[in-house]
Amino acid sequence: MIIWLNGTFGAGKTTTAKEVTSLLPDSRLFDTEKVGEMLWHVLGVPEKDFQDFPPWRGLVVETARQVLDHVGGTLVVTQTVLVEPYWQEIHDGLTKAGIPVHHFLLHTDRDTLVERIETDTKPESAGAKQWRLDHLTDYEQALPWLRRAAQVVDTTGVAPAEVAETVLRKVRTSRRGPHRPRPGGDHP
């Protein structure tokens, strides 16, 4: 299965993913940005975002499918997807491949997001600070469809370990709900 952590920059996706993988046996991070970086090498730097390359979406699905076929378990994806047709294409591809997808929107208010982005001291974040701030409006515009397509988890003032527990609890609940058959294999 895939646990997809969506949300804008500063929502806590990466930290939550590390917590989830530490709590869930046979899980691993799948960084779909690496697929985008590979496409830069082949197709050049995109005008706006590597997600705009149609091959990115198909390669994310195919890479996830092949990795899961090879190692099984759970892939935890931390990827902001703000374009609804892109998410639908990925989701439909994963579903067609028989991969259960648990889509979560990690959300917090704008003031908290700005504070998290501005106080992020990791060296790899320094150059992306303004870019992240500039994309908050895109995130806010995507919120209506994101709230329909994902389970919302509020990360405002919540420790990452607690956010991870909430995500895993929601995965367990959705897998055992009366509207879905309970798949075989390991359970979180």
The larger pLDDT score, comparing residue 113 to residue 54, is at 54
Low-confidence winner among 56-65, 108-117, 154-163, 166-175 (lowest mean pLDDT): 108-117
Mean pLDDT estimate for the chain: 87
- Measured from the Cβ of residue 68, the count of other Cβ atoms closer than 10 Å reads 20
Task: Note the Cα 87 to chain centre separation in Å.
Answer: 10
Tokens 């730097």 found at: 45
d(C-alpha 23, C-alpha 118), whole Å:
29
SS3 state of residue 74: strand
Residue 93, CB half-sphere, CA atoms under 13 Å: how many?
Answer: 19
76, β-bridge pairs? 3, 29
The larger pLDDT score, comparing residue 61 to residue 118, is at 61
Tens digit of each residue's pLDDT (9 = 90 or more) over 66-75: 999 999 999 9
Q: Which of 69, 77, 71, 62 is nearest to 26 (CA)?
A: 71
pLDDT of residue 176: 64
pLDDT of residue 185: 39
Question: What pTM, to 2 d.p., does this model score?
Answer: 0.86
pLDDT of residue 182: 36
Instruction: With cut-offs at 50, 70 and 90, classify the pLDDT of residue 188.
Output: very low
Q: Reply yes or no on whether the pLDDT at 160 is more than 80.
A: yes
Tens digit of each residue's pLDDT (9 = 90 or more) over 92-114: 999 999 999 999 999 988 888 78
Instruction: With cut-offs at 50, 70 and 90, classify the pLDDT of residue 129.
Output: low
